[in-house]
Amino acid sequence: MNRLVGAKVAITSNRPQTTRTEIRGVRTTPTSQVVFLDTPGLHKPRTALGERTNQRALASLGEVDLVCQLVDATAAIGPGDRFVADAVHQVATPCILAVNKVDRASKAAVAEHLATALERLGDYDVFVPLSAKTGDGTDTLLDELEARLPEGPAYYPDGVVTDQPETVLAAEVLREKLLAHARDELPHSITVSCEVDESGGPSRDADLLRLHALVHVERESQKGMVIGRGGRVLKEAGTAARHELEALLGTRIHLETKVRVERDWQRRPASLDRLGY
């Protein structure tokens, strides 16, 4: 979605289930506006959080005008892909199958992948091979999307690429930086909440956005892993997040970070409600 929108609106990671909430990205051109909805990935849930993200992703299938299912050109079509395909085919919403990472596979391998997808996943309106990394094929995908979308009004003004509040974007960018350091079970145990610090009033550093970020983990042992020896991990992640946020939001940022243990937050409905899940 970042490639299609032309700006970073969703964090990226090689960890599964990185996306936990719906993220809207907006692409506006002189002739069209497309609003993308990036949902959490469907998976076999093991926690209350997984159940909720699955429910939200499934519900969105009937709320949109067009579905784009994504598969990996470098990985075999597996049960997870078939599970998603079965869910997609249960609704009347038109669907495109996009085969990503073709920059890492030969043309013959991509052709074989498409044939396998057709055999195992069922019918789609169109198949589009592409590379989100290089941009190859994304123009074709956009053309196919626009050709199938109904006409309607522009929902967002020019220049808007997402409707995420700055606090949500900040929390997600910090989580992305922490995931780069995480290992074992820690990636799934990290979540971040963020709020604006307005304690100094409007006159204090008017051009400086002050943010308080709270990193939540599930066990005391994980707190030390997130902070790192001498605070190194948290400091490096916070600095990287601040630099990226300043570029994204176009303003100076002061980012204060703390870590809190919230035991088994993924499995506790009350915690999920409080954390926005």
pLDDT at 12 over 60: yes
Task: Please compute the mean of the pLDDT values over residues 213-234 and round it to a whole number.
Answer: 94
32 with 135, same domain: the answer is yes
Task: Please compute the mean of the pLDDT values over residues 167-174 and round it to a whole number.
Answer: 95
What CA–CA distance (Å, rounded) separates 251 from 237? 19
Task: Please compute the mean of the pLDDT values over residues 167-181 and round it to a whole number.
Answer: 93
Domain assignment present for 241 = yes
Q: What is residue 219's predicted lDDT score, i.e. its pLDDT?
A: 94
Q: For residue 239, what are the contacts with CB-CB under 8 A and spacing of at least 6?
A: none
Task: Please compute the mean of the pLDDT values over residues 128-136 and round it to a whole number.
Answer: 95
Q: What is residue 184's predicted lDDT score, i.e. its pLDDT?
A: 63
* Total number of domains constituting the chain: 2
Task: Please compute the mean of the pLDDT values over residues 163-176 and round it to a whole number.
Answer: 94
Residue-wise pLDDT for 61-120, tens only, equals 989 999 999 999 999 999 989 999 999 999 999 999 999 999 999 989 899 888 998 899
How many CB atoms are located within 10 Å of the residue 214 CB? 18
Q: What is residue 171's predicted lDDT score, i.e. its pLDDT?
A: 95
Residue-wise pLDDT for 24-69, tens only, equals 999 999 999 999 999 988 888 889 999 999 999 999 998 999 999 9
Domain assignment present for 156 = no
Domain assignment present for 159 = no
Q: What is residue 127's predicted lDDT score, i.e. its pLDDT?
A: 93
> In this structure, what token pair is assigned to residue 59?
């519900």
Least confident piece of the model among 13-17, 128-132, 258-262, 269-273 = 13-17
Query: DSSP readout, 73-116?
Result: TTS---HHHHHHHHHHHTS-S-EEEEEE-GGGS-HHHHHHHHHH
Contact 194, 174 (CB under 8 A): yes
Please report, for the domain that includes residue 41, its CATH number: 3.40.50.300
Range of the domain at 203: 166-274
- Helices then strands, each counted (H, E), the chain: 10, 8
Between residues 211 and 200, which one has the greater pLDDT?
211
Q: What is residue 160's predicted lDDT score, i.e. its pLDDT?
A: 93
Question: Given pLDDT bands bounded at 50, 70 and 90, which one contains residue 185?
Answer: low
Q: What are phi and psi of 96, to 5 degrees?
A: -110, 140
Contact 19, 12 (CB under 8 A): no
Mean pLDDT (the chain, rounded): 91
Q: What is residue 200's predicted lDDT score, i.e. its pLDDT?
A: 60
Domain assignment present for 214 = yes
Q: What is residue 207's predicted lDDT score, i.e. its pLDDT?
A: 82
121 with 206, same domain: the answer is no
31 with 134, same domain: the answer is yes
101 with 42, same domain: the answer is yes
Q: pTM value?
A: 0.86
Single-letter amino acid code for the residue at 146:
E
Percent of the residues in the chain that have a pLDDT greater than 70, as a whole number: 97
134 with 189, same domain: the answer is no
